[in-house]
Amino acid sequence: MKLFLDSANLTEIREAMAWGGIDGVTTNPSLVAREQRDFFPLLKEICETVHGPVSMETTCRDAAGMVDEGRVFAKLHPNIVVKCPLTKEGLSATRRLTGEGIRVNVTLCFSAAQALLAAKAGAYIVSPFVGRLDDISSDGMELIREIRTIYDNYHYATQILVASVRHPRHVVEAARLGADIATLPFGVLEALVRHPLTEIGLERFLKDWEQLSATSGRKGL
Ligand code: G3P
């Protein structure tokens, strides 16, 4: 399963690339706005930093506007994947952009019916938001299970990108269900690494080594 970072923050992106082995980045208007930077230079810097797909969301509500924006984004860098919302206008824009060879990540997906339409529109990626479903006492991972079944039944090439991830269990469950990608906030990526028994075990190894060094009078190897 590919892991993407859900962030427009270059410090997080660079650190995640150093040890997290991230395969790409997803952004959205809220994440970009949080950086308080000029949009195009930021987007270009992210694309030049990440060795994989970078999703950038259109900000229009109409298909024509999304198509115009998507064409501009796509010209910025070959890594760009254009994000369009799962609306009628977004699906129309997806068909048009895909027809021009521009990859589209259809986002804000909350049902299997929507995901079916995204695949039929030729989406490169579909982004079901599992955390926001869990937030309203629905079952985000059940949606992933449904989409995986439907896409496998009809051999749709659209990749399932599990988004709105809240904790490591979402990542593990996504991998168990056969999702293609999970996109994680930086804090969740860090949480993937952490385990108390690892910390305890490391401290014990190093303490025992230090005692050996103390008794033998030899520092280090
Ligand atoms: O960027 C898309 C998605 O991952 C955002 O999720 O619910 O954390 O805002 P959320």
Q: Contact 90/84 with Cβ under 8 angstroms?
A: yes
- pLDDT value at residue 63: 98
CB under 8 Å, gap of 24 or more: what pairs does 144-153 form?
A: 144/173, 144/174, 144/177, 144/179, 145/177, 146/112, 146/115, 147/112, 147/115, 148/177, 148/178, 148/179, 150/112, 150/115, 150/116, 150/119, 151/115, 151/119
| 14 in any annotated domain | yes
Mean pLDDT for 145-158 is: 98
Output the residue whose Cα is nearest ligand 1's atom 7: 164
Label residue 211 by pLDDT band (50, 70, 90).
very high
- The one catalytic residue in 2, 83, 88, 120 is 83
Q: Which atom of ligand 1 is nearest to the CA of 31?
A: 1
Is 188 inside any structural domain? yes
Residue 216: its pLDDT value, please? 82
CA distance 96 to 9: 30
Q: Is 174 exposed, middle or buried (0-12, 13-18, 19+ CB in 10 A)?
A: buried
Q: Answer yes or no: is 189 within a domain.
A: yes
Q: pLDDT tens across 99-115, in order?
A: 999 999 999 999 999 99
Residue 213 lies in a domain: no
- Report the distance separating Cα 146 and Cα 131, nearest Å: 16
- Enter the pTM of the model: 0.94
* Whole-number pLDDT of residue 36: 96
Q: Which pLDDT score is estimated for 143?
A: 98
The residue whose CA is least distant from atom 3 of ligand 1 is 164
Alpha carbon distance 6, 83 (integer Å): 13
Residue 83 among the catalytic residues = yes
C-alpha 189 to ligand 1 mean position (Å): 14
Residue 161 lies in a domain: yes
> What's the start-to-end Cα distance of the chain, in Å?
39
Q: Which of 11-15, 140-144, 209-213, 214-218 has the lowest mean pLDDT?
A: 214-218
Q: Compute the distance from residue 164 Cα to the ligand 1 centre, in Å.
A: 4
The response to whether residue 131 sits with its C-beta less than 6 Å from ligand 1 reads yes
Domain range for residue 27? 2-194
Query: HSE-up of 68 (CA within 13 Å, CB side)?
Result: 7
- Looking at every residue in the chain, the average pLDDT score rounds to 96
- The beta strand positions in the chain, using DSSP E, are 2-6, 24-26, 54-57, 80-85, 104-109, 125-128, 159-162, 181-184
pLDDT-based confidence at 180, cuts 50/70/90? very high
**What average pLDDT does the segment 139-148 reach?**
98
Separation of CA 59 from chain center: 19
pLDDT at 219: 66
- Residue 221 CB: number of other CB atoms within 10 A? 5
Candidates 160, 114, 110, 167; CA nearest to 139 is: 110
Q: How much is the pLDDT for 198?
A: 97
- Between CA 4 and CA 158 the distance in angstroms is 16
Residue whose pair of structure tokens reads 């904790």 in the numeric block: 167
Residue 210: pLDDT above 90? yes
- Report if residue 199 sits inside a domain: no
Number of domains in the chain: 1
pLDDT at residue 3 is higher than 90: yes
Residue 216 forms part of a structural domain: no
CATH number at residue 61: 3.20.20.70
Ligand 1 center from residue 29 Cα (angstroms): 10
How many angstroms separate the alpha carbon of residue 77 from the centre of ligand 1? 23
In a domain, 15, yes or no: yes
| β-bridge mates for residue 129, sequence order | 163
